[in-house]
């Protein structure tokens, strides 16, 4: 048992990209008092974090909303830390124009089957489609080299694909918003392991909200830190990317954000990608 004088170690998993680094800056760099907790950063790509969450390995972790459907028995969703595509989102790109029918017949490079981008693309293509999982930071070069006819981009690739001579086939955030009455596309969330218990879960939730508030209130400082994680992004693009995915939705999902999450999960169930209907379990906002 952890003594009262020894901080409890909390392993905090997040992607090595600017938006996650921005929101966790205060939490891991001593900008706020973390009380009885000591946070240890774990930097891994989102599909790896999703897989680790299936095994319950991390106390707190970034995860895909799609993946949550398979690990709701182990994790609850924290009210803060959302990555929402509000009129934008993962982008499907290619060297050449392709129709939806063509896309349904040709393998697409994707960053992981459990990513929300994968589920959003399945909704766009009306179900399963031929694909191959490729590390997210190699998808552009694989498409550019002609190894795949199309690729699904997350993270900074959403801003830099044109630099590689690629064209946009579909912005899945736009697609979702048009389909779902203007709701944002729920991509990422932060999960907290259920076995920590209600008291500690609420304490961790409060700390995460304070970290996000600190970053948004000290934007230049937090951008300086986040820029270390901006693969191929200059500071201006880092700032733009962070602004896309760390904003008021990130402070709290809010009613519309929660509705978007549930609609996204329900849509995945209807097309058969999620075997059972899952009801999103959010930790109450503090």
If phi > 0 it is left, if psi is from -120 to 50 it is alpha, else beta; for residue 254 that is left
Q: What is the CATH number of the domain that holds 103?
A: 3.40.190.10
Of 148, 179, 210, which residue sits at a domain end?
A: 179
Average pLDDT over residues 28-32: 93
Helix runs in 113-253, H state only: 116-124, 139-144, 157-160, 172-179, 198-217, 219-226, 235-245, 248-251
Q: Is residue 2 part of a domain?
A: no
Residues 204 and 171 in one domain: no
In this prediction, residue 286 carries a pLDDT of 66
Which domain range does residue 124 map to? 91-179
Residues 261 and 191 in one domain: yes
Q: Is residue 286 part of a domain?
A: no
From CA 243, how far away is CA 4, in angstroms rounded? Answer: 39
From CA 117, how far away is CA 131, in angstroms rounded? Answer: 13
Q: Is residue 277 part of a domain?
A: no
Residues 19 and 130 in one domain: no
pLDDT tens-digit map of 67-82: 999 999 999 999 999 9
- What is this structure's pTM? 0.93
Phi, psi of 165 (to 5 degrees): 75, 25
Of 179, 203, 227, which residue sits at a domain end?
A: 179
In this prediction, residue 235 carries a pLDDT of 87
In this prediction, residue 181 carries a pLDDT of 93
In this prediction, residue 6 carries a pLDDT of 78
Q: Is residue 239 part of a domain?
A: yes
Average pLDDT over residues 147-158: 90
Residues 196 and 68 in one domain: yes
In this prediction, residue 3 carries a pLDDT of 45
Mean pLDDT of the chain: 93
Active site residues: 155
């Amino acid at each position: 048992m952890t003594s009262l004088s020894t901080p409890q170690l909390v392993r905090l998993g997040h992607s090595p990209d600017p938006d996650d680094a921005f929101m966790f800056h205060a939490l891991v760099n001593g900008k706020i008092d973390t009380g009885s907790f000591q946070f240890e950063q774990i930097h891994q790509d989102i599909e790896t974090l999703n897989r680790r969450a299936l095994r319950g390995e991390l106390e707190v972790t970034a995860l895909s909303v799609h993946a949550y459907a398979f690990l709701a028995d182990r994790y609850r969703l924290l009210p803060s830390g959302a990555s929402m595509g509000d009129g934008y989102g993962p982008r499907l790109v290619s060297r050449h124009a392709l129709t939806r029918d063509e896309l349904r017949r040709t393998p697409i490079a994707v960053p992981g089957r459990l990513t929300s981008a994968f589920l959003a693309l399945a909704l766009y293509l009306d179900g399963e489609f031929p694909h191959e999982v490729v590390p997210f930071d190699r998808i552009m070069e694989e498409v550019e080299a002609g190894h795949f006819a199309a690729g699904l981009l997350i993270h900074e690739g959403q801003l830099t694909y044109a630099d590689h001579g690629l064209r946009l086939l579909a912005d899945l955030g736009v697609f979702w918003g048009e389909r779902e009455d203007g709701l944002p596309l729920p991509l990422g969330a932060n999960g907290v392991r259920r076995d920590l218990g209600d008291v500690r879960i609420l304490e961790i939730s409060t700390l995460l909200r304070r970290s996000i508030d600190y970053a948004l209130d000290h934007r230049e400082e937090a951008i300086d830190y986040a820029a270390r994680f901006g693969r191929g992004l200059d500071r201006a693009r880092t700032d733009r990317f962070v602004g896309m995915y760390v904003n008021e939705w990130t402070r709290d999902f809010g009613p519309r954000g929660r509705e978007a999450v549930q609609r996204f999960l329900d849509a995945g169930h209807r097309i058969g990608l999620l075997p059972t209907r899952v009801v999103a379990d959010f930790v109450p906002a503090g």
